[in-house]
Structure 1
Amino acid sequence: MTNFGKIDDFGTLIEPATLKIQRLLPGPIERVWSYLTEDEFLSKWLASAGMELKVGAPFEFVWRNDTLTNPPGNKPAGFGGEHRMQSKITALEPLRRLAFTWVGSGDVSFELEPSGDQVLLTIIHRRLADRSNLLSVSTGWHAHIDILTGRISGIEPEPFWNNWARLKDAYGRKIPA
């Protein structure tokens, strides 16, 4: 039996301000690429974006985390219904690599590598300013990737906000003060 999703349950700091998180996903690579680049799929695990797949192209991520799972779970205080972030594609190799910058929140890259009938997804988020930002980004990526793993594997993920709260506590213990 294939154990999708497991590489290391948690993201790791590969430099003081750089998070790396990996997951094995069921292939083919074309399907995984669609989940990273096409709004129809991207909005089911992360955010809508309306990306034009061209280096230098600006776009806006729009998160609506309450819509990612049904039920959404218990949303912590302080979160609105929507969050927006201006972005720009900085690198593009179809079916292999997508990188973009998030204004004020670092640089992100998605890399895909075939691994038999699976695909290794590596996300690297650079230029994370401080521990608070590291904690927020680590928790968010992990929770969103858990949803991606469920969606692409055909398994219903647990409620987003409940998973997010559990992960925030766990990352709080893992990330050095």
Structure 2
Amino acid sequence: MTELVTLDAYGTLIEPTTLKIQRFLPAAMERVWEYLTDSDLRRRWLAAGEMEMTAGAPFEFVWRNDELTNPPGERPSGFADEHRMQSRIIELDPPRKLVIAWGANGDGEVSFELEPRGSGVLLTLTHRRLPDRGIMLKVAAGWHMHLDILVARAADTETEPFWDGWSRLHGEYEERLPA
């Protein structure tokens, strides 16, 4: 029997500068953990970057969003074909929790928490200390679309072109998140 898990696909603000978004992934917890921590798997839904699995270890994310879906959709102006960000691991509890600094200065923080649920895993992503509404809208649309791709990868299905989805979601979050 397959467990039915119904979640609101949209992220919500749980504090004025903190976004929380959840997804049910139809995969074993260890496999989802690999999608978070293995560069080759992570680049298929988010960004590449080798991680030394040690708290405090630095790493670099390398985004190439045009490579996430085929076709990639129309990239909005202002976005490069590649983006890099220095980061570091803050907390590690394999295969349940990964917390990373968001940016070299650690201005923000992102936690990934995994919880077994029936035949799959509930992933809760929390992005803390978003500096302003403009960044918040971009981040909300980005995480939403990246997580949709992760679910598609775990289920071996396809999703809409990355940039088309991101643009649509950016507009939807503009209406959903308070000004």
The 5-angstrom pairing of residues 139-158 of structure 1 reads 139-158=141-160
Aligned length: 176
Aligned letter for 2:120?
A: Q
The aligned counterpart of 2:132 is 130
Distance 2:3 2:146 in 1: 21
In structure 2, what is the Cα distance between the partners aligned to 1:49 and 1:16? Answer: 30
CA RMSD of aligned residues (A): 1.3
Unmatched runs of 5 consecutive residues or more in structure 2? none
Amino acid at match of 1:68: L
> How far apart are residue 27 of structure 1 and its match?
2.2
Whether the aligned pair in 2 keeps the contact of 1:33 and 1:95 (CA below 8 Å) is yes
* CA deviation profile, 1:113-172 (whole Å, cap 9, x unmatched): 001111000000000011111111101100100100101111011110010011011001
Distance in 2 (CA, whole Å) between partners of 1:44 and 1:151 is 8
Q: Note if contact 1:151-1:157 (Cα within 8 Å) is conserved in structure 2.
A: no
Q: 1:84-122: per-residue Cα shift (whole Å, max 9, x none)?
A: 111000000001000010125510000000011110000
Measured after TM superposition, the shift of residue 34 of structure 1 is 0.6
For residues 102 and 8 of structure 1, what CA distance do their matches in structure 2 show? 25
> For 1:17 and 1:79, how far apart are their aligned partners in 2?
23
TM-score by length of 2: 0.95
TM-score (norm 1): 0.96
> Helix, strand or coil: the match of 1:109?
strand
Return the offset for 1:55.
0.3
